[in-house]
Amino acid sequence: MATTVPDGAIDEAIVARVPEDVARGSLTKCAPLAKLVWFKSGGPADWLFEPEDLDDLRLFLARLNPAVPVMALGLGSNLIVRDGGIPGVVIRLGKPFSGCEVEDDCTIKAGGGTPGILAASTARDAGIAGLEFMRGIPGTVGGFVRMNGGAYGREVSDVLVDCTVVMRNGDSMVLPASALRYSYRHSELPPGAVVVSARFKGEPGDPEAIGAEMDRIADAREQSQPLRTKTGGSTFKNPDGASAWKLVDEAGCRGLELGGAQVSEKHTNFMINTGDATSADIEGLGEEVRRRVRDQSGIDLEWEIQRVGRP
């Protein structure tokens, strides 16, 4: 069983193993995270590390005390950071990991920090069809590879060739899609592993038709989802044979409020921060929705949004 470092000893564990001259990227103590996540709520990370490049990330993790927890952060879309903040180190991949290139007629390679819209646009410009759905995923490649992100009838497991990850000990390896053992919004990628790049394979297509499909997806999202609010994306997974939004609506939760959190009137599988919600408000509202749906239908909704950190 792995040992853990008590909260009060994390600073000492990090400083002892990762001296300032080792970390070439940005290493920030007690770093605010609310501004980095879509809900705009939650506490700070004990430490936030933004590596300068792949070697920097690998060396940092290799030198970091193995008992210190590590979590990767993308665009912060499907995430509730609890108000007590996140223990250990949060890894955020910036511009050095946000490139996207065409490898051959039907394959693109994207960095772990690449937004879905950039991956989809790169494929469109190269005449690669089948990746349009990434236009509808509000996150980065690293996040939706880990979570088997999907939208509009397709998901990452349909198109992933392989991904390059840096493991918690600093080792880098290429994992084929089969190694992730994908299921609905889940993979078996080890905790602490960071996806630094991934390859996706589509099929030959017409750039104009691909662009039209991307526009359709963008319009559908705009019309049906509360995109111009502080939200976190889809809150609950769709149960087998049912739609989460419909179950929430039938349980009378449309517009339901708790503190500064509210179930969206526009799409009932979205929660929003109306202005001053704490993460406790948001998570508490989600649990109340789950209770009401369970009482109404007997179905126990599962969270799709990740909830991390200390209460």
Beta pairing partners, 262: 257, 272
Q: Which of 122, 114, 190, 202 minimizes the C-alpha distance to 156?
A: 202
- For the CA atoms of 295, 300, 301, 305, the dihedral, rounded to the nearest 10 degrees, stands at 120
What totals of helices (H) and strands (E) does the chain contain, helices first?
7, 19
The catalytic residues are: 185, 234, 304
Backbone angles phi, psi at 257, to 5 degrees: -125, 150
Characterize the bridge pairing of strands 172-176 and 160-166: antiparallel
Q: Which residue has the tokens 């300068």?
A: 52
Q: Which residue has the tokens 């936030």?
A: 48
Extract the tokens encoding 164.
């390059």
Distance of CA 76 to the CA centre of its chain: 6
Count the Cβ atoms, other than its own, within 10 Å of residue 303: 16
Residues ≥6 apart with Cβ < 8 Å to 19? none
Question: Are the C-beta atoms of 79 and 308 separated by less than 8 Å?
Answer: yes
- In single-letter form, the type of residue at position 7 comes to D
